[in-house]
Structures are given as C-alpha cells and as structure tokens.
Amino acid sequence: MMNALSGTDKAAKQTVSLEGRDISVFWRHSLQARRVTLRIDPRQAGVVVTLPPRTTREAGLALLRTHAIWVFSRLDHLPPDAPWHDGGQVLLDGRPHAIRHCPHARGGVWIEGETIMVSGEAEFMRRRLGAFLRQEARRRLSARMAQLAEQSGLRPRRLAIKDTSSRWGSCNSDGTIMLSWRLLMAPAEIQHYVIAHELAHLRHLNHGSDFWMLVASLTPHRHMAETWLRRHGPALLRMA
C-alpha cells in the first residue's frame, strides 16, 4: 500500500512509563520497515512505534528513551480534543457549521444553511452526527473523485471511506483507493490534492519523479495542501 500522506491504523496499545510519565504507545510491525521509527498519533494522543520484522519491542523502547524530549514536546503541542456538542461547530469543506440539537424534531440529521441539525436524544447526538458526516463524506468525496477520474482517465477499482488515525488517503495495488472521511472537513483544494495524489498512484505505485509530475498535472494545490495538512490536520483528527 502506497501512501505519502502518512499512517497506520491497527496497532497494539500499551501504556509505557517514559521518564516517569505515562504515555500511550501503539506497537506496529511492518514487513516494509527497515528500521525502528516513531510517529505521533494525534487522534489517540500517543506514539506509534513501527518495528521491522523480528525486531523486539525493547529496540522501540530504547528509541523512545533516546527521543523522550521530542515525544513530550509533540504530545504537549497537540490540539485539544474538540468534541461535538450542541452549540459547537463542525467543518464542512473548510467552512464552520454550527451544531444545533433538536430533541423533539424528526428526520435524523440534516443541514440548514450553515447549521447542522441533529434530532433525537442528547446521549445519541454525537453518534448520529458522526454517522451523518461519514455519509456526507462518501457522497461528496465520491463525486469529486469521479469528476477528477473522468478528467484524468485514472479510474479506481473501488473507493473506500474510512475513519483512520492519521492517513488522509492510500492506494492499493488492486486499484482500491481509501480516503479518510475527515477530508470532508478540509477545504475543497485540500480534498482535490489528496484525491489527485491517490489517483496518480493508480499509474505509479511509488513516489518517484514520474509520480510527482503526474500529480502536478492533475492538481495545482500540492504544496499549499501539504502545508495545510501539517498545520491543521492534527486538529481534524481530534474532532469527534
């Protein structure tokens, strides 16, 4: 699976004491890894340690101890959790929409102007809103991918919309493209770049010069989008 936009989503979780501070560590073995690596997982506020095959966790712990200051700094600078609640906000295509709980209304969840209305009992509000946003992401991102696929002649075998811990998109060798539903919250230009990036992988399953030339021909937003995702992506991952 090729992915320039980060990540891993399935890992074994462990609480580790690092210089007297408990942190969440997510262990992941990768057949492609050549060395032990560390990555901050913004959504789960922990550290992902990727190990090559047959490498023990002790090697990962040693790297964690060596980079403790870096780990603490990155964790301490994560955006705060942004839970959805009545009167709060959620982004759609980069534009803020107010969240309004309508306990006695019917119709589930719907959009009125720049307000998202959520009916039903308060305890189920976040779950209903989350399900609605995933459906909305599938509808909007599918349409945008179809449009760019038609223009480029690069057509995926299938589109999967998932809730990932860090990655924004990926492309499998069988032609399946995955997009994070959280892209729905990013501006349209950011969505355009991520979709173009993954479509380009249908022709070049690598990040060589030909791949980047194809990306440049598909979208003018690469550098702006990469900067935006580095700056604002962690905050999107903290929303729920």
pLDDT tens digits, one per residue of 67-89: 999 999 999 988 888 789 999 99
**Distance between CA atoms of residues 98 and 117, nearest Å:** 8
pLDDT tens digits, one per residue of 41-72: 888 889 999 999 999 999 999 999 999 999 99
H/E stretch holding 112: strand 109-112
Residue 4 has pLDDT above 70, yes or no: no
Nearest to 47 by CA among 57, 56, 34: 57
Residue 148 has pLDDT above 50, yes or no: yes
All domains of the chain in start order, with CATH: 12-76 (no CATH), 89-237 (3.30.2010.10)
Q: What pTM value is reported for the model?
A: 0.79
